[in-house]
A and B are shown apart, each in its own frame.
Chain A
Amino acid sequence: MAEQAITLQKVDKVYPIYHKAAEKYLDFFLPKSFGQKFYALRDITFSLEKGTSTALIGLNGSGKSTLANLIAGASAPTSGTLIAEGNVSMTSISAGVSTMLTGLENITQKCLLLGLSYQQIKDLTPQIVEFADLGAFMDQQVKTYSSGMRAKLGFAISVNIDPDVLIIDEALSVGDPTFTKKCLQKMQAFRERGKTIVFVSHSLPQVRDFCDHALWLEAGQIRSMGACGEVTAAYAAFIKEFNAFSRAEQKAYTTRLREKQFGGSNEPETKP
């Protein structure tokens, strides 16, 4: 029996939707809750084995990024339990770099924030610089970078700090094919060393190439999960069907989904 890297049990993520600006502040300062409940994720239960790569697929707003954020520990589930073994590192389009710092300074800052020591950073930096392959731009402020270069820097940092779980949130979609290939190779090597990868992408060919499992989210719930080939085939069929709908039908479909995600007022269901 393989070990589980990530386990989720009945995880809900509720975002309060505020209809008045004041509600946001009242919600923060008072113990009582305000606003309307929006279930970004509802009743998510699954687990991922170590050394697997799993794709998160689904339409925009289906909760992929929210789920990725939860696994990364960037936000906490509203209810349910989530266990992630080891270090989790996430890289995303908005690559989490400071635009006012240079590439090198960003490497140092990010690594310090993640808890590495100066010595560890000194050892890691050549590796990151080599992977990012930004040449002389490494000494320039990130504000001068193109979006692809920013993504490269972010990806290079996330991959090279050697996490146990790596989450890639659409980060490859801005890079050119050569960089994408390099990243996929790196991820492959990563997986062979028994590390776990969660891959959020809209590119089905990339997903099929690289992942062995897929999880299809729809309106914050798991619509289907299993072997990558089957789930992506079902998803592709759904997309085809959806695109064949008329505008009105499409709208009706998405509205119906969205309505399911709203739940009454933002009151805790059980008193703590």
Chain B
Amino acid sequence: MPQYIKYFCQTTGDLFKNFRRIGSLALFDYRQANKKMFLGGLWKLLSPFIQIGAYWLVFGIGLRSGAPIDGIPYVVWLTCGVTPWYMLSSCVGRAANSIYGKAAVLTRSNIPVCIIPVSTTLSAFMDSGWMILLMLVIFLCNGCRLSWEALNLVYYVFCGFAFMCALSLVTSVLVMLARDFQKLIQMGMRLMFFLSPIFWKPGRTLPGAFRLFDLCNPFAYVIRGFREGLLFHVSFWQSPRDGLIFWCVVACLYAIGVVFQSKLRKNLLDYM
């Protein structure tokens, strides 16, 4: 047990001591991301448009098939769920490969490895800023008005960031350990897409076991939070139970992550 406390202190200390390094690395990654592409920085806007814009075209302009949900146009309701989902899911993949992708540069130096997944997460969230902006544009274009409860987004983006940091500490080590985990993570995310309330709304008809899963699903917490804040004017402190469960899940992930990171740091070379 004292060993685990040591692990915890080591990784947490590394993260806090190096927060400036994490920030500048994230900025470097953010600027670097689309440099090699012909359209360059334009992709920062294009890729969220392709991701969200497709739904908007199909459900908003094109088909208009979805009936309004709780009086909210379906396209707006959908966009408010799809955006946080892409914010998280695009981050999961990038962060999981973060250490593996930089392994060549990292191996022969005393760089604290745990800063890499966190800085990658941060740069993914910088990219997501553009997507949230696009979401707000669609939101306003459909005649919805922003209320002060929209400020809840700041809290939920922070929640998503904390969750992604904790998760990335775990996944980035797993991918180093065996490439199989890349595939497993991809598959897991595909499952989560359907298991999280993006296209559907949890109702009373759900079986009990699934309701429990939904309650503990951190993706669902962030997605629901986005919707409630923007569309239904509900603030996060009005559902303290959900928040408590969410932060417990994040804390558990972080606890596993620090142990993994410390084990990896001792012997990064061995896992190449």
Among candidates B106, B265, B269, residue contacting A113 with C-beta atoms closer than 8 Å: B106
Question: Contacts A112-B21, A112-B24, A115-B18 hold; do A73 and B110 have CB atoms under 8 A apart?
Answer: yes
B104: Cβ under 8 A from any A Cβ: yes
Contact digits for A74-117, partner B, Cβ 8 Å, 1 yes 0 no: 11100000000000111010101111110001001110111101
Binary contact track A100-139/B, C-beta < 8 Å → 1, others 0: 1100010011101111011000000000000000000000
| A117→B178 CA distance, assembly (Å) | 34
- What is the bound-complex CA distance between A209 and B91, given in angstroms? 52
- B20, A113: Cβ atoms under 8 Å? no
Measured as residues with beta carbon below 8 angstroms from the partner, the interface class of chain A is: 20 to 34
Select which of A25, A96, A108, A112 is within 8 A of B107 by beta carbon.
A96
Chain A: which residue is nearest B18 at the CB level?
A115
Q: How distant is the Cα of A268 from the Cα of B177 in the complex, in angstroms?
A: 22
Decide if the interface of chain A is mainly helix, strand, loop or mixed: mixed
Most buried by B among A73, A92, A110, A169: A73
Cβ–Cβ < 8 Å partners of A108 in chain B: 28
Contact size range, B = 20 to 34
Task: Please give, as numbers and ranges, the residues of chain A lying within 8 Å of B102 by CB-CB distance.
Answer: 98, 113
Contacts of A69 in B (CB 8 A): 108, 269
Q: Are B177 and A96 in contact (CB under 8 A)?
A: no
In chain B, residues 55-97, which have Cβ atoms closer than 8 Å to a Cβ of chain A? none
Contacts known (A74-B268, A101-B32, A272-B3); A110 close to B105, Cβ less than 8 A: yes
Indicate if A179 sits at the interface (CB-CB under 8 A).
no
Report A166 CB to chain B, min CB distance, Å: 12
Contact partner, A90, options B32, B105, B108, B265, Cβ 8 Å: B108
Residues on A with C-beta less than 8 A from B25 are: 109, 112-113
Q: Are A105 and B269 in contact (CB under 8 A)?
A: no
Flag A140-173 by CB within 8 Å of B: 1 or 0 each.
0000000000000000000000000000010000
The answer on a CB contact under 8 Å between B32 and A117 is no
A70 to B236, alpha carbons, bound, how many Å?
A: 48
Cross-chain contact B104 with A98 (CB below 8 angstroms): yes
> 17 A-B contacts, Cβ less than 8 Å apart?
A16-B270, A24-B177, A28-B177, A28-B263, A69-B108, A72-B108, A72-B109, A73-B110, A74-B109, A75-B268, A96-B108, A97-B104, A97-B105, A108-B28, A109-B25, A113-B106, A114-B109
Q: Footprint of B on A, CB under 8 Å?
A: 15-16, 24-25, 28, 69, 72-76, 88-90, 92, 94, 96-101, 105, 108-110, 112-115, 117-118, 169, 272
13 extra interface residue pairs, beta carbon distance < 8 Å, beyond A112-B24, A113-B111: A25-B178, A72-B109, A74-B269, A75-B267, A75-B270, A96-B104, A105-B32, A109-B28, A113-B21, A113-B105, A115-B18, A115-B21, A117-B20
